[in-house]
Chain A
C-alpha cells in the first residue's frame, strides 16, 4: 500500500513540474482547516453574500441557486462566510469537535459536491 494517498511514482511523474488542466479539483485544501463552518439552513436567507466572498468557491448551491451546503473538501476554514452572513446562519467550530475530523472525502463525492456549486459543467479528470 502506498504511504501517500493518490501518490504517483517518481518514474511516472511528468517532467518539469507539469500539471494538466483543472488539477486544482484534485487538491484537498480542506486538509488545512482548523475551524469548520457550520451552516444552519433554518436561518439562511440565501442572500449569496458567502457565495460571492468565499475564496475557494466552497459554498454549494442547488438548482434554484439557493445555498445548500459547504464543500468541506476545499473549504480552508477562513471564516469569511461567517463574517459576511447577515442572518447569523454560519458558525465556526473547531475541527476537534467533529468525529470525522481529518477524514478524507471520497473522490466521487467530492466531484458531486463540486457540481453542486454550479461553477463547473464538465469536470476534467477523476
Chain B
C-alpha cells in the first residue's frame, strides 16, 4: 500500500489515535452509522459489537442493535434487514463464522450488501482462540467478497471502501473484511481517522434496488425455484463478483484522493526485479518484508507479494507479478486437508497460463497462532535460492521428533 498520493485539502484536519484493529473497525461503524447491526460476540471479534453497543447505548449512532441468541440468528437478522433496504454490519470469528455458514450463500444470492468484520481465528477442535485463516477460507465459495488486511489502518480504510463496494449496483455482494485475530485485532498502533463528515459524504446513503419494505412495489426474496431459473440466477450473481475489480479500482481512486491511502488488490513489495518471491496474506506480511529488506542488502533479489483481495481472486494481476520469476513460495495460514491449501491453489491456477513455468513451493504456517519468525521467512527464501522443491506442503515451525 502507498501513502504518498495527494490528499484532498478538505480533509486535512485529521486525527491519529492509538487503537486496535477491532476498535478501528468499531470506529468506522460509528462514523458509517448503519441502520441495523445484529451480532453475537465471539473472541477475538468481541470488541467490535461490544464497542459498537456502547455507541448505540450512548446515542452516538441511531442504529437498531439486535442482540440475538446465536451467530446463525445474527446473520439471519442481518440478511432480513439488508433485503428490507437497510445498511447492515456485523462481526464474528471462528466457530461463530462456521455456524453462520448456512446463511452466507443466501446473503450473497439475495445480493444483500452486508459488511462483515471477520476477525480470523482457528476453527476448533481443539478449541483455540488464536489466529489462522481456517474460519474464512471455507467461505471462499459462499459468494462473498473477501479482503484480508495487514494492519489496523487498513482495516479502518477497508471498511469504508467495502460499504461502497458492497452496495454498488454492479456488485451488490456482501463483503468480509478480514483481519488477523489478536495480532491485528488487539495490538495497538497509530491509526489515522477521517472526519465524521468526510465519511458521511464518502459512504452516502444506501439506495436499495428491491427493498422488501417498499410496499408499493412488492417483491419476494428466495422463492422456491426449479431448474428453469436457478442456473441463471447463480450466473447473474457470479457477475457481481466479476465486476468487483473494475468497481474497486474506481472506488480506490476516489478514496485515495480523500485519505491519501491506497490499497491495490495485491500488494507488491520489491517484486518487479525479484528472482524469488514469497506470497502471503494479512499480518504476517510484515515479517516477510523485513526479511526481503535484509536479503536485498545481501544482494539477493527477494520480493514479497501480499494477496489482499482473495475473492474475487485477482488472477491477472498475480500472473503479471509472478511470471518470469525463478521460483515462488506460497505461505498459507490454513490447510485444505487432503488437497492444496487455498492460497497455493489459487496462485498455481493463476500461473498455469503464464508463458514460463514458475515453480511454486507450498508452505503451511501459523495454525492456531503458532509464531512466524524472520528466521522462518529466511529459511523459505533459502529453499527457493537452493531450489529445494518438495512435492506437497512443508510445515513451518511444526515440532518434529528431534525438536
Given A4-B228, A5-B228, A6-B228: A15 and B220 within 8 A (CB)?
no
Q: Do A10 and B236 touch across chains, with their CB atoms under 8 A apart?
A: yes
A13 at the interface (CB under 8 A from B): yes
Chain B, interface residues (CB within 8 Å), range: 20 to 34
Q: Is B225 an interface residue (CB 8 A)?
A: yes
Tell me which residues across on chain B come within 8 A of A5, comparing CB atoms.
228
Contact with A along B224-249 (1 / 0, CB 8 A): 11111101110111011000000000
- The interface residues of chain A lying within 8 Å CB-to-CB of B355 are none
Q: How far is the CA of A9 from the CA of B172 in the complex (A)?
A: 19
Q: Looking at the assembled complex, report how far the CB atom of A63 sits from the nearest CB atom of chain B, in whole angstroms.
A: 30
Asked if A18 is at the interface (CB within 8 A of a chain B CB), the reply is yes
Does A120 interact with chain B (Cβ within 8 Å)?
no
B228 touches A17 (CB 8 A): no
Chain A residues in 8 Å Cβ range of B176? none
Say yes or no: B83 contacts A16, CB within 8 Å: yes
CA distance A46 to B394 in the complex (A): 77
Asked if A16 and B221 sit within 8 Å, CB to CB, the answer is yes
Contact A15 B172 (CB under 8 A): yes
Whole-angstrom CA separation of A13 from B232 in the bound complex: 7
Chain A residue contacts of B235, Cβ below 8 A: 10, 13
Most chain A CB inside 10 Å of its own CB: which residue of B109, B209, B218, B232: B232
Tell me, yes or no, whether A112 is within 8 Å of chain B by CB.
no
Whether, in the assembled complex, B352 has its beta carbon less than 8 Å from a beta carbon of chain A, the answer is no
Given contacts A15-B237, A16-B210, A17-B225, contact A9 B219 (CB under 8 A): no
Give chain A interface residues in 4-60, CB to chain B under 8 Å. Answer: 4-11, 13-21, 23, 27
Contacts of B218 in A (CB 8 A): 20-21
Interfacial chain B residues near A14, Cβ < 8 Å: 210
Do A17 and B232 form a contact, CB below 8 Å, given A23-B220, A23-B223? no
Q: Smallest distance from the beta carbon of A26 to chain B beta carbons, Å?
A: 10
Does B222 sit within 8 A of A, measured CB to CB? Answer: yes
Task: Check A19 against B219 for contact (C-beta < 8 Å).
Answer: yes
- In whole angstroms, what is the CA distance A29 to B291 when docked? 64
Q: Dominant SS at the A interface?
A: loop
Is B111 part of the contact surface with A, judged by Cβ < 8 Å?
yes
Q: Are A18 and B232 in contact (CB under 8 A)?
A: no
B240 touches A17 (CB 8 A): no
Task: Knowing A16-B109, A16-B111, A16-B210, say if A11 contacts B236 (CB, 8 Å).
Answer: yes
| Distance to closest chain A CB from B104 (angstroms) | 15
Q: Complex Cα distance A23/B83, Å?
A: 19
Query: Which residues of chain A are within 8 angstroms of B223 by Cβ–Cβ distance?
Result: 17, 19, 23
Residue among A8, A13, A14 with the highest chain B CB neighbour number at 10 A: A13
CA distance A7 to B172 in the complex (A): 23
- The listed residue with most B CB atoms (<10 A of its CB), out of A9, A14, A17, A18, is A17
Contacts of A4 in B (CB 8 A): 227-228
Contact B233 A13 (CB under 8 A): yes
Closest A residue to B240 by beta carbon equals: A15
| Minimal beta-carbon separation of A1 from chain B (angstroms) | 15
Are the C-beta atoms of B172 and A16 separated by less than 8 Å? yes
On chain B, the residues within 8 Å of A15 by CB distance are: 111, 172, 209-210, 236-237, 240
Complex alpha-carbon distance, A19 and B210, angstroms: 10
CB distance from A31 to the nearest CB of B (A): 8
Note all chain B residues with C-beta closer than 8 A to A18.
210, 219-221
A7 B236 Cβ-Cβ under 8 A: no
Question: Of B109, B111, B220, B228, which is within 8 A of A7 by CB?
Answer: B228
Verify if B363 is at the interface (C-beta below 8 Å from A): no
Task: Decide yes or no whether B156 CB sits under 8 A from chain A.
Answer: no
For A15, give the chain B residue with the smallest CB separation.
B111
Q: Which residues of B contact A11 (CB under 8 A)?
A: 236, 239
Report the minimum CB–CB distance from A47 to chain B (whole Å).
Answer: 32
**Chain A residues with Cβ under 8 A from B109's Cβ?**
16-17
- With known contacts A15-B240, A16-B221, A19-B223, A7–B110 Cβ distance under 8 A: no
Most chain B CB atoms below 10 A, which of A10, A11, A15: A15
Q: Which of A8, A17, A20 contacts B110 (CB 8 A)?
A: A17
Pull 29 A–B residue pairs with CB atoms less than 8 Å apart, ordered by A. Answer: A4-B227, A4-B228, A7-B228, A7-B229, A7-B232, A8-B229, A8-B232, A9-B232, A10-B231, A10-B233, A10-B235, A10-B239, A11-B236, A13-B229, A13-B232, A14-B210, A15-B209, A15-B240, A16-B83, A16-B110, A16-B209, A16-B210, A17-B109, A17-B110, A17-B221, A17-B225, A19-B223, A20-B218, A21-B218
Given contacts A16-B111, A23-B220, 14 further A-B contacts (CB under 8 A): A8-B229, A8-B232, A10-B236, A15-B237, A16-B110, A16-B112, A16-B210, A17-B110, A17-B221, A18-B219, A18-B221, A19-B219, A19-B220, A23-B223
For the complex of A and B, list the 3 residue pairs with the smallest distance between their C-beta atoms, beginning with the closest. Answer: A16-B111, A10-B235, A10-B232
